A and B are shown apart, each in its own frame.
Chain A
Amino acid sequence: MQNEKRVATGIPGLDAMVNGGFLPRTANLVEGAPGTGKSTLGMQYIYEGARRDEPGIIFTFEEFPEQYYRDAASFGWDFRELERQNRLRIIMSSPEVTKADLENVGGTIQNLITEMGAQRMLIDSITHFEGLRQDPVESRKLMYGYLNALKRQDLTMILTRETTHLFGEGLEGQLDASIQFLADTYIMLRYVEIESTVQRAIVVLKMRGSGHDSTIRQYAIDAHGLKVLQPFEGQEGVLSGSPKRMTESFMKAFVRR
């Protein structure tokens, strides 16, 4: 698996964090609070794929497709044109319908994937699956079956998941062990308060079958999309949302060597 060609995200700085890209046929979870840029990251992944002749599909369970067309246009990505070229399809649906359709041999989604030659998918967001089953074991089974059905179609996916806390507080309570287990890569986006300004942090917590960058990095969203920047330096407790400056002696001993 290590030697397989990677699926480059095309997002500046992110590919270096994930050793050149995602492994093919994997489900890659991006989790963060509202406004952290989960959908932007996912759209950019799909856009970069379409540019590289790797068509993509977006499943939206939350936003209207017209919102994606508009948001993408603000970054200069013409999603309507990509749809005309059959390199993108934004499907508004619900988890229960897509799940049932995927289980059918020759279902609408399977036919579409084949017809487009789709290689990438964004599921925005899997938070909507959590309401389908009360029992966590059943919920995990459902998600497992869903992701396997998509992997069977040779898709490399980004799944977004929303957390309710804006900063790092209550972190442990939010982590859904089953989603962590099912996802091949687990990327976390966080707001961080440093010297009275809000900054954004990205970290790759897990990447099954591959090494990855373990530093916590800053990222920014500008007119061209999301880009990963340098690691936070001289700070500790970044994921808590309120990092503290490391002592100078610690910095000298361990960081600036």
Chain B
Amino acid sequence: MMRREDLTARVMKDMDPELFDFLTTYVDSFIKWDLLRFFHENPHTMDTGENIARYAGRTAEDVLTELQDLARQGLLVEMPVENMQVYMLKADPTIRTRLQQFVEATQDREFRRKVIYHMVRH
């Protein structure tokens, strides 16, 4: 029987290393995937987790944890404004380029299948 690591390596082997790195660093749930697409399409959003959840059509409870994760991982900036916690996409051009590459890659069905495989495995 094939070992799990071998199967993963086979599924992911032809993926661009930078995309693979982006995927494994930031994308481990469908909500994060949604949030990445949201910030790509609306790159200068600056708002609270509750409002971002509303824009993304998700519950605040689900989204807040994922936003905090993405901030910890360095994709988003989390900052206090008065008594609110506000989230923004990091201005770093490298991160924005990687995000764009990831969103563009998800246009491809095969790539989406790999993302789903990665998330399920996770």
Whether A and B are associated in the same complex: the answer reads yes
Residues of A with Cβ closer than 8 Å to B? 64-66, 83, 89-94, 96-98, 100-101, 103-104, 107-108
Contacts of B86 in A (CB 8 A): 97, 101
- Report the stretch among B16-24, B43-51, B68-76, B101-109 that lies at the interface: B43-51
Within 8 A of A (CB), among B30-87: 41-48, 51, 55, 79, 81-82, 84, 86
Q: In the assembly, what is the distance between CA of A21 and CA of B42, in Å?
A: 31
- Is B95 at the interface (CB under 8 A from chain A)? no
* Count of chain B residues near A, Cβ 8 A: 16
Contacts of B42 in A (CB 8 A): 64-66, 92
Q: Measured between C-beta atoms, what is the minimum distance from B13 to chain A in Å?
A: 34
- Given A64-B55, A92-B55, A97-B86, A107 contacting B44 (CB threshold 8 A): no
Structural contact, A90 and B44, CB atoms closer than 8 A: yes
* Interchain CB contact (< 8 A) of B81 among A66, A90, A92, A100: A100
Structural contact, A97 and B48, CB atoms closer than 8 A: yes
B46, B47, B88: which has the most chain A beta carbons within 10 Å? B46
Residues of B with Cβ closer than 8 Å to A? 41-48, 51, 55, 79, 81-82, 84, 86, 88
Structural contact, B47 and A92, CB atoms closer than 8 A: yes
- Given A64-B55, A92-B55, A108-B88, A97 contacting B81 (CB threshold 8 A): yes
Q: Measured between C-beta atoms, what is the minimum distance from A89 to chain B in Å?
A: 6
Q: In the assembly, what is the distance between CA of A118 and CA of B25, in Å?
A: 35
Contacts of B48 in A (CB 8 A): 94, 97
Structural contact, B45 and A92, CB atoms closer than 8 A: yes
The 10 closest A-B pairs by CB, nearest first: A100-B82, A92-B45, A65-B42, A91-B44, A100-B81, A66-B41, A93-B46, A92-B42, A94-B51, A93-B47
Structural contact, A101 and B46, CB atoms closer than 8 A: yes
Q: In the assembly, what is the distance between CA of A65 and CA of B45, in Å?
A: 9
